[in-house]
Structure 1
Amino acid sequence: MPEDLHPVDIHIVDDDADVRDGLAWLFDSRGWPTRTWAGGAQLLDAAQALQRNWSQAVVLLDIRMEPLSGLVTFERLKALGCPWPVLFLTGHGDVGTAVQAVKDGAWDFLEKPFQDNQLVDRVERAVEALLARSDTERELQRLHQALASLSPREREVLRELVRGHYNKSIADHLGISQRTVEFHRANIFEKMGVDSAVALAHKLGQLQPLNLP
């Protein structure tokens, strides 16, 4: 596993024990923590237990399983709001179905037989995308918390700043001194983690639609 990728669970779902064990050995040997499931129902039980407290994981899902197919399992994961990227493992006759699954939100698919390095590379790309998305979500959460921490007066100054107004015009409009505007502006920048009005506008743009009453 590349050093810049944090540990992420690889969920291996296949009703063939030999396939499960082989894939688990492959990823274990590369330093990836794995969990194996004999079918979609078992994975779904685990996912339901984690609902709203998702771990970091990627799912390798066989498309042909009994009694619960990979496609049905995938649809139920989506219904749970599960954020894990799903990579389908397919036979030649299932490629069309797998393509449609990708259009419906699956991360990717790989046709059997495949090379080990090819599979690992696909999983690494899925992990990179997962971690990037997680970083973005954490930043958005931080921005929402920072915005909520602003005082009523700071929110008034913030409104004026994002409209492109200068300190003097903000002071005149709000009936306060320019020094007071500068004080609130500095507090806003510190709380929002920016060093300029341009950077502030960019951060707020990530929170669209933004309502500043």
Structure 2
Amino acid sequence: MNALPAEPDQIIYIIDDDEALRDSLVWLLESNGYKVLAHESAEAFLDVYNEDLTGCLVLDVRMPGMSGLELFEELGRRRCTLPVIFITGHGDVPMAVSALKKGAVDFIEKPFSDRDMLGLIEQCLATEREHRGKRRQEADTARRLAQLTQREREVLDLIILGKLNKQIADVLGISIKTVEVHRARVMEKMGAHSLAELVQHVVSAEPAAQR
């Protein structure tokens, strides 16, 4: 099975204390065109972790020292957004299900097929690309909002509320012509070509601003 190629900067991080399983996964994923880095422990991964990593994690539930679940929780505290696939033995399924409730993408039970693993990897990388694209869009919108003058932001807020130019003019105590000028500048600065696009940009950025 040939999985869809990852983006050049996406890396699959395998974290498992079983050397044979690590080597097997590295071979499988690299032979399907993925970039892979393997670590024998959660602690070893944390030594190289930073918030700019992209890709996904394949993480064993049960390991000596820090367990996979403990690593997952620590990454959550660090606001890590990398999708996580748990590898689990039969007795660890309840723990893996608990991790799903906390945000893990999925778990795969040993022994697993190459096809199943590659399918989950493809799903995770697609999810990570989508989320990264949304974060870039949110950051761009926040940057554009910061460029608005106070008056332009007031006009924008009223536009988002569905106010017409005359209503905006009445609320702000300015002329309709002045509202039209501000409205045009808002559209230009926000990179929006329609009212619907403008509203979509601003509304999509609101959750990010609240985080």
Q: When the two structures are superposed, what TM-score results if normalisation uses the length of structure 1? A: 0.87
Shift of 1:98: 1.0
For 2:102 and 2:168, locate their aligned partners in 1 and report how far apart those are by CA, in whole Å. 49
For 1:167 and 1:79, locate their aligned partners in 2 and report how far apart those are by CA, in whole Å. 45
Secondary structure of the equivalent of 1:35? Answer: strand
Aligned in 2, Cα 1:123/1:186: closer, same or farther, shift over 3 Å?
A: same
Shift of 1:172: 4.5
For 1:59 and 1:210, locate their aligned partners in 2 and report how far apart those are by CA, in whole Å. 24
Shift of 1:206: 2.0
Secondary structure of the equivalent of 2:206? Answer: coil
Long gaps (5+) in structure 2: none
1:128 maps to 2:129: no
Match of 2:46 in 1: 44
Q: Which deviates the most, 194-203 or 61-70?
A: 194-203
For 1:55 and 1:182, locate their aligned partners in 2 and report how far apart those are by CA, in whole Å. 44
8 Å contact kept, 1:204–1:210: no
For 1:114 and 1:85, locate their aligned partners in 2 and report how far apart those are by CA, in whole Å. 19
Secondary structure of the equivalent of 1:88? Answer: strand
Secondary structure of the equivalent of 1:6? Answer: coil
Match of 1:143 in 2: 141
Q: Which deviates the most, 121-130 or 171-180?
A: 171-180
1:52-91 alignment runs, 5 A limit = 53-91=51-89
8 Å contact kept, 1:90–1:112: yes
What fraction of aligned residue pairs are identical, expressed as a percent? 40
Aligned in 2, Cα 1:141/1:20: closer, same or farther, shift over 3 Å?
A: same
1:12 maps to 2:14: yes
Counterpart selection for 1:178 from 176, 180, 190: 176
For 1:119 and 1:191, locate their aligned partners in 2 and report how far apart those are by CA, in whole Å. 45
For 2:208 and 2:37, locate their aligned partners in 1 and report how far apart those are by CA, in whole Å. 41
Secondary structure of the equivalent of 2:12? Answer: strand
Shift of 1:185: 1.1
For 1:121 and 1:134, locate their aligned partners in 2 and report how far apart those are by CA, in whole Å. 20
For 1:209 and 1:80, locate their aligned partners in 2 and report how far apart those are by CA, in whole Å. 19
Counterpart selection for 1:34 from 33, 36, 49: 36
8 Å contact kept, 2:138–2:208: no
Q: Which deviates the most, 191-200 or 78-87?
A: 191-200
C-alpha offsets along residues 59-95 of structure 1, whole Å, 9 cap, x if unaligned? 1111221132222222222222221111111111211
Q: Number of matched residues?
A: 206
Secondary structure of the equivalent of 2:205? Answer: coil
For 1:38 and 1:163, locate their aligned partners in 2 and report how far apart those are by CA, in whole Å. 54
Kindly provide the amino acid, as one letter, of the partner of residue 86 in structure 1.
V
For 1:173 and 1:16, locate their aligned partners in 2 and report how far apart those are by CA, in whole Å. 67
Kindly provide the amino acid, as one letter, of the partner of residue 71 in structure 2.
T
